[in-house]
Amino acid sequence: MSKEDVLKSNINSDLLRPVFKTGIGWYITVAISGSLLLAAMGAFGYQLYSGIGVWGLNRPVMWAFDITNFVFWIGISHAGTLISAILRVTGAEWRRPVTRCAEAITVFALMIGAMFPIVHLGRPYLFYWLAPYPNSRGLWPNYRSPLLWDFFAINTYLLGSLIYLYLPLIPDLALVRDKAKGLRHKIYSIASLGWRGTQVQWSRLEKAVGVMAVIIIPVAVSVHTIVSWDFAMTIRPMWHSTIFGPYFVAGAIFSGIAALIMAMAVIRKVFHLEAYLKPIHFNNLGLLLLTMSLLWFYFTFAEYLTSYYGNERVEKAVFQSKISGAYAPLFWAMVVCCFVIPMPILAIKKLRTISGTVAASALIVVGMWLERFLIIVPTLSQPALPFNWGSYRPTWVEITLTAGTFGYFVLLYAVFTKLFPIVAVWEFKEGLTLADHAGSVAEPQRLVAHGD
């Protein structure tokens, strides 16, 4: 048996182990995350029975935790497809063990975020009214509404992300198919679309993945830009800003990279993939996170500086409530979590270790949720007319639904790692082959995904 065969065999066994062997930790993770999801489902059932009045919403605060979670999870979805696509298009070789972790985050975060506009509806069972279809009522959606374009953009992004996730999975599905037996073998045979690893199949797969990588980047950018227009198209104080589009996109990529680093660290530890998810991957993602931290700080500073110098009464009221008023503790916690602590950790090489980047990422995820909350609630609680000012306090229903989203995300990720290799086997092998043939004139020989 050659050295290359031994190496391929080790890669297959390491990366397929989570699919064929289940540890007690997996069951504990599923039990805990599933319990949070069941609690959220119970809270949602109570909301359906009692009405949306069980939330802390009131006049004038009509959006709060629900839309905060919507914007937050749509932002997290940029972790995957956008980062993976950019790294693939630019030919970054270190991306190979990271791409599938990132692409899975995109799909799951989109599935969660897209639920919240429906959850927020007073009668969520009528959500299909958003869809433009011929109906007996003769009613059509308002195409000028950014909310309708949310519907189109998010569904387009979700469909594109699913395709972008599935295409690179096909060779690895064939690999699992060849090792599975019984019903599992039949299911993976169907899912792998008759993959045999021929040169024609490889050529078509690479072209399809390359095309999707180019297409998905502008789609991802447009999605969070449209989400920002839900706010910027109004005349609410501190919302009608010309930089809300890039501000939201930068924040989305920022929180997305942080979520990806945390997911990679857990996967690396739980599945013993230290040889595949290496410190260099966390270092490179940490540098990206540092860049986005500086960019986020610039946009935030520019946004608040504009409000300060404008000195309009209604703008100043919201500004003061964040800087030194009722929302000041949350605002300064956001600044500390998103910039003050992560920036030096990520900027100093000795601190930019796996533990350092994970700690910085955890703080950033918390800070970015606070940022979404602070964009929405202070502005709504202090509209232009002072006599109409109000306040907001979340109820147990909203808190339970929010906790349930995190449980749902972890549950989806756990199930995904049980069904599919979380590190792309064929991409990792291809990277090794290209490294071995670096400097060679001859085209690298393809390592077929099913190990032949």
State the residue for tokens 């298009």. Answer: 89
* Sign, CA torsion 289/295/301/304: negative
In a domain, 446, yes or no: no
Provide the pLDDT for residue 441: 37
Contact of 329 with 252, CB cutoff 8 Å: no
Tell me if 282 is assigned to some domain: yes
Structure tokens at 16: 């397929």
pLDDT of residue 450: 41
CA 310 to chain centre: 35
Pick the range with the lowest mean pLDDT from 290-294, 389-393, 444-448.
Answer: 444-448
Count of helices and strands (H, E) across the chain: 17, 0
Indicate whether 374 belongs to any domain: yes
The Cα 89–Cα 92 span in angstroms is 8
Give percent above pLDDT 90 in the chain: 38
Examine the pLDDT at 141 and tell me if it is beyond 80: no
pLDDT of residue 144: 73
d(CA 148, CA 158): 16
pLDDT of 37 reads: 95
Q: What is the pLDDT of residues 147-205, one digit of tens each?
A: 777 778 888 888 999 999 999 999 999 999 988 888 989 999 999 988 998 899 999 99
DSSP label at 79? G
Tell me 208's DSSP state.
H
60 prior amide bond cis, ω within 30: yes
Residue 444 lies in a domain: no
Q: What is the CATH number of the domain that holds 409?
A: 1.20.1630.10
* DSSP tag of 353: S
Cα–Cα dist 428/11, whole Å: 9
Confidence of residue 2 (pLDDT cuts 50, 70, 90): very low
User: What pLDDT score does 273 carry?
Assistant: 87
Domain count along the chain: 1
Tokens of 236: 């609410």
Is 263 part of any domain? yes
Distance CA 148, CA 178 (A): 45
Residue 125, pLDDT score: 82
d(CA 95, CA 83): 9
Q: What is the pLDDT of residue 112?
A: 92
CA 79/CA 162 separation, integer angstroms: 14
- CB-count burial class (<10 Å; 0-12, 13-18, 19+) for 291: middle
Distance CA 15, CA 423 (A): 7
Question: CB under 8 Å to 169, separation ≥6 — which residues?
Answer: 100, 420, 424
Residue type, 58: N
Q: What is the 3-state secondary structure (H, E, C) of 118-172?
A: HHHCCCHHHHHHHCCCCCCCCCCCCCCCHHHHHHHHHHHHHHHHHHHHHHHHHHH
- Confidence tier at 387 by pLDDT (50, 70, 90): low
Q: Is 396 exposed, middle or buried (0-12, 13-18, 19+ CB in 10 A)?
A: exposed
Q: Residue length, the chain?
A: 452
On whether the CB atoms of residues 434 and 444 are closer than 8 A, the answer is yes
Task: Please say if the pLDDT value at position 9 is more than 70.
Answer: no
Helix (H, G, I), strand (E, B) or coil at 114: coil
119-128, 159-168, 365-374, 439-448, range with the lowest pLDDT: 439-448
Residue span of the structural domain in which 41 resides: 3-128+141-434
- What would the two tokens of residue 246 be? 């890039």
Q: Which residue has the higher pLDDT, 80 or 200?
A: 200
Q: How far apart are the first and last CA of the chain?
A: 13
Tokens standing for residue 18? 């989570």
In a domain, 440, yes or no: no
* 449, part of any domain: no
Q: Mean pLDDT of all residues in the chain?
A: 85
- Domain annotation covers residue 447: no
